[in-house]
Amino acid sequence: MKRLATAAALVITVLSVSACAPSPSEGEGLQELPDVSIEGYESVSAVMDYETGTVQLPLDQYSLQSPAVQTKTLQAIATRTDACLEDLGFHTVSERVDWTPFPAAENRRYGVWSVERASRFGYGAPEDVGINTLRVNTLDLGVEFNEAFASCNQEAVSALQPQIDFLQAPNIDYRIRSQAERRAESSAEGAQAREQWQNCMKERGIVLDATSGFPSQQYNQQGKEAEIAAATTQAECASQTGAIQTLFDLQARYEAAFIDSQAAAVQEFAAARETVLSTFNDVIAGR
């Protein structure tokens, strides 16, 4: 079935679960995990896809932010929404959606690094990736339907609120990933990689923002051509210097080390994660 990506109904569901991710403020005040050494983890590396700008990391197997988990969450909410709509005598909408996990969006945690994407979209993103591909148009179903949909959708979200709260909480997966990212960037090797990346851009005439170290926002204001040129140079320098591979490799090693050091907490989290996903599977199956 073709995935519909026009604007309307399931956008409400998408916003309801906030992409299944905790906000930065939810992580504030959390005690830092005990630090780890990545000595002995030299064989751990990130698997990079330079065409799509996506990366595979050790924590992915536990992540609550993967396309598979996010899609299943939204399908469970949509299934409950449909049941409510049917009770009210309206059409259902979930059959309009392709529930195959959507293509992952670029991982720009350390900056733009896919030359293929940057040369086409600059700092923008293609429309056929990420959670927003699950949007579906319901305008043709009329005012009464869309009002009922909003109400039924909220009812569905409320029924699954404990599971959604779990997805949005700063669980151990979130804490490990965010801390591994910070450790990768702040390490001597990470800082050196970042410096090499920046020097490459400056040598090629790209003006960098003094605070972020990324290309100046002024490129975005000069039109798409200038934006694409700056983004493409940033991506080319990321791969040519090896900086992006180094940063993600460091993150992968820290993730692996934290997973090992927090084995009991990770195991407990994995069991809770499986319970939540089983609940969603039951809802989708009508059990």
State pLDDT tens for residues 110-150.
999 999 999 999 999 887 777 777 777 788 889 999 999 99
**Residue 5 in domain:** no
- Is the separation of the CB atoms in 69 and 81 below 8 Å? no
**Residue 191 in domain:** yes
With 60 as the cut, is the pLDDT of residue 172 above it?
A: yes
Q: What is the C-alpha separation between 87 and 85, in angstroms, rounded? A: 5
**Residue 237 in domain:** yes
Q: What is the C-alpha separation between 179 and 170, in angstroms, rounded? A: 12
pLDDT at 29: 60
CA 140 to the chain's CA centroid: 31
**Residue 258 in domain:** yes
- 279: nearest Cα among 166, 141, 183, 149: 166
- Is the separation of the CB atoms in 9 and 136 below 8 Å? yes
**Residue 1 in domain:** no
Number of domains in the chain: 1
- The pLDDT-based confidence of 21 (bands split at 50, 70, 90) is low
Domain extent at residue 232? 10-17+43-285
Strands (E), 65-222: none
**Residue 4 in domain:** no
- 4: nearest Cα among 123, 96, 105, 131: 96
**Residue 274 in domain:** yes
- Is the separation of the CB atoms in 57 and 251 below 8 Å? yes
Strand, helix or coil for residue 161 = helix
pLDDT by residue (tens digit) across 239-257?
999 999 999 999 999 999 9
- 206: nearest Cα among 176, 172, 229, 238: 229
**Residue 73 in domain:** yes
| Average pLDDT estimate for 256-271 | 98
